Structure 1
Amino acid sequence: MTELADRPRATMRVRQPGETVVRVGPVSGRVRWRQLAVPLVAAIVVVLLGAVGLGRGDFPIGVGDVLRTLAGLGEQSQEFIVLELRAPRIVVGALVGIAFGLAGALFQTFARNPLASPDILGITQGASVGAVAAIVLGGTSGAAGLLGGLGVPLAAMLGALAFGALLFVLAWRRGVDGYRLVLVGIALWAVAAALTDWLLTRAEVFDAAAAYVWITGSLNARTWDQAVPLALALAVLVPLALAASRALGVLQFGDDTARGLGVRLSLAQAAVVLVAVALTASAVAAAGPISYVALVVPQIAVRLTGGSRPPLVASGLLGAALVVGADLLTRTVLPEALPVGILTALVGAPYLLWLLVRGRRRSTL
């Protein structure tokens, strides 16, 4: 009995299935291998999909030629195809998937609701309002043209930030309740959709066609001009999102519990929403509102890892795998190249219906 009492308390805890206690000197901790394995496998899948995407397309290039091109030893034509046409598209797709996956995980954990995603909360639709306004009202010779190609992405980012601010302000009642956040978001989505439709009715034929392509979400013709700013934005926002994970772990137990544990509720909620909105705005500005990635991916991640809330790192990497894989399918498998947003919508829309049906069944029990 005395030996048992003298042991460190950490060694007396009951291990959960799939957990291992790791000790390094006086420091010990628990490792859940599924939470490590899922992000690792997702990262490997993203790399493999990117490697396949560099060689596949209208002009197939062998693996050896791709490697030589990446090393700077390829032919000039292959360098142009790999480094200027395909690599930026893949990089933008991966970064956009990371941003959407992280934003969805932040919103769903914060609201404690699997429906809470930028698509449902009206943020991506708000970005569409800004982008369509820039295309329709600015045109090729107006505001969008004067900004040297930055008009549409900048307008999309401003639209997403504006609707994100409206969402937070309208949902605030001595704190932000997850149920109220979703209701306000759905209302904002309807308003933004109506504004987008009204702008499209005022557009010329060519401007309307360009706007429809953009609001569908596409990686077509993406260059390093979109990849570099998005990478810089994520270099700032991803650490902020990971830093907010501790506050999220407390917020999911409710406002009263968070206050009791010393969390500054208003500041923590505002920080989480701001980071999630900024991630969404950055992704939409780079590739348009690619639908349902932020809705589906966090729920896939939480089921694969077996945790109690969507894991941030796994959600981001699975989002990258989904976007890059969907874009690869549209370019190489389907008979006609489609915007990647159409394929992700085909995956996400049935999942949304399943969520609604499941919620209705639970409410009737």
Structure 2
Amino acid sequence: MVLIVIAFVAILLGLFALDIAVGEFNIPLSRVLDVLGGGGTRAQRFVVLESRLPRALTAVVVGAALGLAGAVAQSILHNPLASPDMLGITAGASVGAVAVIVGGGGAVTGVVASLGVPLAALTGGLLTAVLIYVLAWGRGASGDAGVMGFRLVLIGIGLNALLLAVVTWLIARASLMDASLAQQWVTGSLNAADWSTLVPAAIGLGLALAVAAGSARTLAALRLGTDTVRVLGVRMQTQQAILLGAACAATALAVATVGPLAFIGLAAPQIARRLLRTPGEPVIGSALVGAIAVLGADLISRTVFPIDVPVGVVTAACGGPFLLYLLVRANRKATL
């Protein structure tokens, strides 16, 4: 397991270096290291320090945040489909951002673009999480009140479809220019990544890491089921709310930074679990796989296609088949 984690780190560092070095203006890796050390020409310093380095760091932070959030949600709810994008958190953030974009007109190029859109996305994602949690509250077969995991997933999937319809309606009624800006944001892109936009995602990742690290034993207990949790004396509903809240906050802040990136939170924990062969979704492994996935998607979007394709298109194209694989695999288990 340790060797696989080391391999994850090595792959991440390799992709990080390539993401900085490769592009319309290729820079040798030796020159990249020279620039990071304070050398290089003015043009090289601009490309590396002002354009590609913040973009690569944003990809790492956003991918890690989404992967970690997905691992927490799937571990607590015991469902491989319990990812932030499937539960509606990402769609809720999209509704908030698109509402500001189509309602702000030309103002989205100024203060609203730098503050209003991320703040609206964060607010939309968190409000959606609270709504899902409230609607999922009920009484189980034992008569105890609390959030039912399976019910939360179903409500999240239904609310996700509803919110995506709202996004489509907002874009359809907007002017051509506003609709174009909104559609670009909804697709998910790292094109606008800079040092200022990196901060929200870093805060979300730090929050989720702190909560997950402080609740590592509790998270392990929650993976074992309700009866085992009660025997161990864990306050299940309280711990669920704290962990899910941190996961939702990390997701909302990540989406507020770059827009929705489909399937990262869904696929990263499952890939990490299979490669590391752990009984549950590993938090750190999922974060590393998520960072690798977004970095790899960014590299593909900028080098493979003749035009600069939004990174969200690449993650959706790769994540769709993986979702079908999970559904087929779950169906086969159910019929055995």
Written as runs of structure 1 = structure 2, the 5 A alignment for 1:1-365 is 34=1, 36-141=2-107, 145-147=110-112, 149-173=114-138, 174-365=145-336
1: distance between equivalents of 2:214 and 2:306? 44
Cα distance per residue 1:237-293 (max 9 Å; x no partner): 311122222212111222232122111122111011101101101110111110000
Gaps of 5+ in 2: 139-144
2: distance between equivalents of 1:259 and 1:104? 24
**AA matched with 2:55:** R
1: distance between equivalents of 2:166 and 2:320? 22
**SS of residue matched to 1:139:** helix
**SS of residue matched to 2:4:** helix
1: distance between equivalents of 2:225 and 2:206? 30
1:147 shift after superposition = 4.0
2: distance between equivalents of 1:199 and 1:248? 39
Cα distance per residue 1:46-93 (max 9 Å; x no partner): 111111121111111122221111111111111000000100100000
Gap change, CA 1:180 and 1:310, over 3 Å in 2: same
- The answer on whether the counterparts of 1:216 and 1:342 sit within 8 Å (CA) in structure 2 is yes
**AA matched with 2:183:** Y
Gaps of 5+ in 1: 1-33
The percent of aligned pairs where both chains have the same amino acid is: 47
Q: What is the number of residues matched between the two proteins?
A: 330
* Alpha-carbon RMSD: 1.5
- The answer on whether the counterparts of 1:39 and 1:318 sit within 8 Å (CA) in structure 2 is no
- The answer on whether the counterparts of 1:168 and 1:273 sit within 8 Å (CA) in structure 2 is no
**SS of residue matched to 1:150:** helix
**SS of residue matched to 1:149:** helix
1: distance between equivalents of 2:7 and 2:332? 34
Gap change, CA 1:261 and 1:225, over 3 Å in 2: same
**AA matched with 1:226:** T
> Which of 56-65 and 127-136 deviates more?
56-65
- The answer on whether the counterparts of 2:96 and 2:124 sit within 8 Å (CA) in structure 1 is yes
**AA matched with 1:295:** L
1:146 shift after superposition = 4.4
**AA matched with 1:117:** S
1: distance between equivalents of 2:154 and 2:113? 38
1:197 shift after superposition = 1.4
Cα distance per residue 1:325-355 (max 9 Å; x no partner): 1101111122222111111111111111122
1: distance between equivalents of 2:240 and 2:74? 13
- The answer on whether the counterparts of 1:217 and 1:288 sit within 8 Å (CA) in structure 2 is yes
Cα distance per residue 1:96-148 (max 9 Å; x no partner): 01000000000110110101101110110111101100101122227x84446
1:319 shift after superposition = 0.6
User: When you count helix as a share of all residues, which structure comes out higher?
Assistant: 2
Gap change, CA 1:253 and 1:63, over 3 Å in 2: closer
**SS of residue matched to 2:107:** coil
**SS of residue matched to 2:268:** helix
1:176 shift after superposition = 2.0
2: distance between equivalents of 1:128 and 1:353? 24
2: distance between equivalents of 1:275 and 1:233? 8
- The answer on whether the counterparts of 1:126 and 1:192 sit within 8 Å (CA) in structure 2 is yes
1:213 shift after superposition = 1.0
